Amino acid sequence: MLHVDPIPLTLAAAPQLTAAPTSGADAGVLAAEAGPPPFSITAVVTEASLDNWLAVALVLAAGLYLYGVHRLRVRGDRWPVARTVFFLGPGLGGIASVTLSGLHAYDTTLLSVHMVQHMVLSMIAPIFLALGAPVTLALRTLPTGPRKRLLAVVHSRIARIYTFPLVAFAIFVVNPFALYFTDLYRYTLEHAWAHELVHAHFIMTGCVFFWPLLGLDPLPGRWPYPGRALLMLLSVPFHTVLGLTIMQSTTLFGGDWYPALGLSWADPWEDQVLAGGILWAGGEFVSVTMLAVLVVQWMRHAEREARRVDRELDRQEARQRAAEAAG
């Protein structure tokens, strides 16, 4: 990967670079000329944009989920309010907060903003989408034909492979290294379609990893709680290693892309250190928090299992008393 002197290029040098815009550095200067204003909370609001395919997908997903909840209520069935809040709030809302807000205007300008997107799209939002149990909602509201097709997909061989915890864990761990430590990241900066595809990939990777661990939907081959807790613990040092590696790197991610932007209000080297810190601290916080959620789920499952065993023992005792009375 190309090493770049940490002195950012200034806009005064832009005419020399833009005379023949054939390289990534030239593209960076062109982006600087029409780039966003200095990053601030105000800019996050004012730079928001809804002209994104993801906005349509989020609205459609929210509409379908609410329609399913409405169908259940109309026929007198109950759907936990918490599941709806999780799915629409931190789930879909989390995705919208980093892709439709002003943060989206800075995701190819500041590596730290890209890392915030990485954390939300691959860890936070997928967790709450899983806790919203959309597959269970669909199975309870779909007609017989579509329900059978959905069950066939859930129990298909492909679903069994990708939702197997070790496979999902390997995908979750390997993907960031494959993105940031190869030329692939630079390619996503230069091509908008590739950058959007990475966002979708983050979401899918997070769902594949967290759905079998914390999700409430019926999935094949789900591990018992001790195995899930162990896998969650193993994910904690991964973010530490990745974050520290980024912070201590002697080369800039994306090569000369960020220095070529010539932003007077941002230093690419300082921003890269901040990006690594966000990944390190944020990853550990989310992992530990989700481990606590998993432990709570484990305790509740144990309580339900204990009540089920008690009811079965009561039924056996009642049958025995009845048999003794009849004899």
Token output for 3: 């090493």
Give 88's contacts (C-beta < 8 A, 6+ positions apart): 62, 65, 66, 132
Percent of the chain with pLDDT over 90: 37
pLDDT digits (tens, 9 = 90+) for 164-200: 888 888 888 888 889 998 899 999 999 989 998 999 9
C-alpha–C-alpha distance, residues 320 and 77, integer Å: 36
C-alpha–C-alpha distance, residues 126 and 213, integer Å: 11
Cβ neighbours, 10 Å, residue 84: 18
pLDDT digits (tens, 9 = 90+) for 282-308: 888 887 788 888 888 888 877 887 888
Q: How confident is the model at residue 133 (pLDDT cuts 50, 70, 90)?
A: very high
Residue 60: predicted pLDDT: 95
Which string of DSSP letters, residue by residue, matches 127-150? HHHHHT-HHHHHHHHS-HHHHHHH
Residue 29: predicted pLDDT: 44
pTM of the predicted model over 0.75: yes
Domains of the chain, by residue range, sit at: 11-326
Residue 93: predicted pLDDT: 94
